Amino acid sequence: MNDRQKAFVTEYIIDFNATQAAIRAGYSERTAYSQGQRLLKNVEVANAIDELRKRIRRDNIAEADEIEEFLSLSMRGEMKEEVVVVEGNYTGGSTARIINKQIGLRERLKAAELLGKRYALFTDTVDLNASGLVVITDDISTSDDGG
């Protein structure tokens, strides 16, 4: 791919508008619509767009181990949150400032609960998956004596 095609790929991801991406990539405004459509049909450009979209999605979506680490840090009280604190001053006014404080007990308990669910620590149900031969016996009499 040439430099303008690479620029088109990057610009196209911004708003998925082929005409505007072509203009921003340096193609003429007069031919931008047709150039954009042609570039979208180019296999190399289309593959580059797909690969860039996958990379962006992969970078933006948390993995399971990231979530478990976040919940563990939260549960242990190692996470901080920003809160606004309003402080009065001697003139009768007040000022607000942002401070970092340890997350509260409610959030820590919620993190512990979510981790417990993840590891099935609180299950009330019994897993009855069985392997092997199951035999069902019919105990209803088929004799003529009625039972």
Same structural domain, 82 and 101: yes
CB 26 within 8 A of CB 9: no
Task: Return the pLDDT at 138.
Answer: 77
105 CB contacts (<8 Å, ≥6 apart)? Answer: none
Q: How far is CA 73 from CA 6, 81, 82, in A?
A: 41, 12, 16
Same structural domain, 41 and 54: yes
Same structural domain, 54 and 11: yes
**Which has more pLDDT, 38 or 132?**
38
Give the residue numbers spanning the domain of 35. 3-60
Q: Within its chain, how far is the Cα of 16 from the centroid? A: 21
* Residue in this structure with the two tokens 């009065």, named with its chain if needed: 88
**What domain count does the chain have?**
2
Last residue of a domain, one of 19, 45, 60: 60
Same structural domain, 47 and 74: no
User: Model confidence over 10-29: pLDDT tens digits?
Assistant: 999 999 999 999 999 999 99
In a domain, 128, yes or no: no
